[in-house]
Amino acid sequence: MKLEQVSKLESKLLLSTYDRYPVLLRKGRGVYLYDDKGRKYLDLLSGIGVNALGYSHPVLTKTIAQQAKLLVHTSNLFYHEFQGRLAAALTRISGMDRAFFTNSGTEAWEGALKLARAYARANGATGTATPERATAAHSGDPGASPKWRILALEHAFHGRTFGALATTHKEKYRAPFAPVVPGVEFVQFNDVADLERKFDSTVCAIGFEFVQGEGGIRPVSREFAEAAHKLARKHNALLIADEIQSGMGRTGKWFAYQHYGIQPDLVTVAKPIAGGLPLGALLASEKVSECIHPGMHGTTFGGGPLACAVALQLINILEKEKLLKHIQRTGDYLLEQLHKLQKKNASIREIRGMGLMIGVELESADLAKEVFQKLLKAGTIVNRTDETVIRLLPPFIVKKRHIDTAIRQLDQALAMKTTLVGRNR
């Protein structure tokens, strides 16, 4: 089928949830994607952080083919050999104690919110949770509410299911579905004073991305992260790390929280974990794991043998090929080249991120949209997030020569804008 046919079919039959780019993809290899006309695109978005090893990686494709011949799915009523092994690998690299496997990041986050409430109840929280009681307790009435409030951050994005949506900050995501799950309050980003004002004994958890993704590639400050950790310990609340986009090596360490020397109580993982197959994980400390029992939570497809077998291979490849060091080196090189570009172009307001998770904030949403479109036309895939930010999430196997190509094209896109502005003047 041609692009026009596919587009027409989708517009008639699919829910209208995506503004798709006018490209019909056929295949991928390495860091490149190819459309139906055979045109090659340098992919610096990796399926929004999913295709960690690029496309058609020989070890992953071999594993998929072999496992598909044996066992693709079995219910969680039975054992298969890969869940326990994958849990052992994930707990080893994360410092956590136990794992629960899901299908997606938002499902992992939902599980984390449930465990936070379950932990609070198992440790003395009583009463019926209502918004009125939470408000009364927060205003100073002890005993008016159980320990059930959840703190999230300004700019946060945790997913689109109801619990995740309630902890996602932008009003445009929540408003069409209001009222969302109650009990959530947002803290101003990196504002320790605001955090201290809102964190009291009614809080059962604070959850955040140590490097925000959809919110514009914003790392939390060390001061804020340490304050959140200290307050969680003080009030026997849980610290939940959303590593759905930043985890599994994206920032140059296995998880972004490891840059801060802080150990969370719960960690959510997804996007790159199975090299393109749908898989997520909720990692928990032992003290939190003790409050969950059979029947309290579950999943039909999460942790299937095919996805888990591939995830094990991905971790093995990252370790065997020392790709975390490669991510650090190429990430530093990318930042260095972007800062050089910033010096010659005032349209770049700020460059943020770490490892291969980088955001380039431009002077306006219109410019960011224009630059994205020019890059796509030139054959480089990025995307725009938080309106004004060009987001770069390259595959972990990206090389300096690929970065040089992207920098050159970004430079040209910004120069074209400058030339047009000069003419208009």
CB 401 within 8 A of CB 44: no
Q: What local confidence, expressed as pLDDT, does residue 416 receive?
A: 78
Q: What local confidence, expressed as pLDDT, does residue 425 receive?
A: 35
∠ Cα 310 314 317 (to 5°): 135
Q: What local confidence, expressed as pLDDT, does residue 142 receive?
A: 44
Amino acid identity for residue 137 in this structure: A
For the chain, list the domains and their CATH numbers. 3-56+322-424 (3.90.1150.10), 71-320 (3.40.640.10)
Per-residue pLDDT reduced to its tens digit, 303-336: 999 999 999 999 999 999 999 999 999 999 999 9
Per-residue pLDDT reduced to its tens digit, 250-274: 999 999 999 999 999 999 999 999 9
Q: What local confidence, expressed as pLDDT, does residue 420 receive?
A: 45
Q: What local confidence, expressed as pLDDT, does residue 145 receive?
A: 54
Instruction: For residue 56, name the pLDDT band (cuts at 50, 70, 90).
Output: very high
CB 410 within 8 A of CB 375: yes
Tell me: cis bond preceding 395? Omega within 30 of 0 counts: no
Distance, in Å, from the CA atom of 129 to the CA atom of 147, rounded to the nearest integer, reads: 8
Q: What local confidence, expressed as pLDDT, does residue 135 receive?
A: 54
Question: What phi and psi, each to the nearest 5 degrees, are found at residue 42?
Answer: -80, 115
More confident residue, 125 or 48: 48
Q: What local confidence, expressed as pLDDT, does residue 53 receive?
A: 98
Q: Is the pTM of this model over 0.85?
A: yes
Per-residue pLDDT reduced to its tens digit, 101-158: 999 999 999 999 999 999 999 997 654 555 555 555 455 444 445 899 999 999 999 9
Q: What local confidence, expressed as pLDDT, does residue 140 receive?
A: 44
Per-residue pLDDT reduced to its tens digit, 164-181: 999 999 999 999 999 999
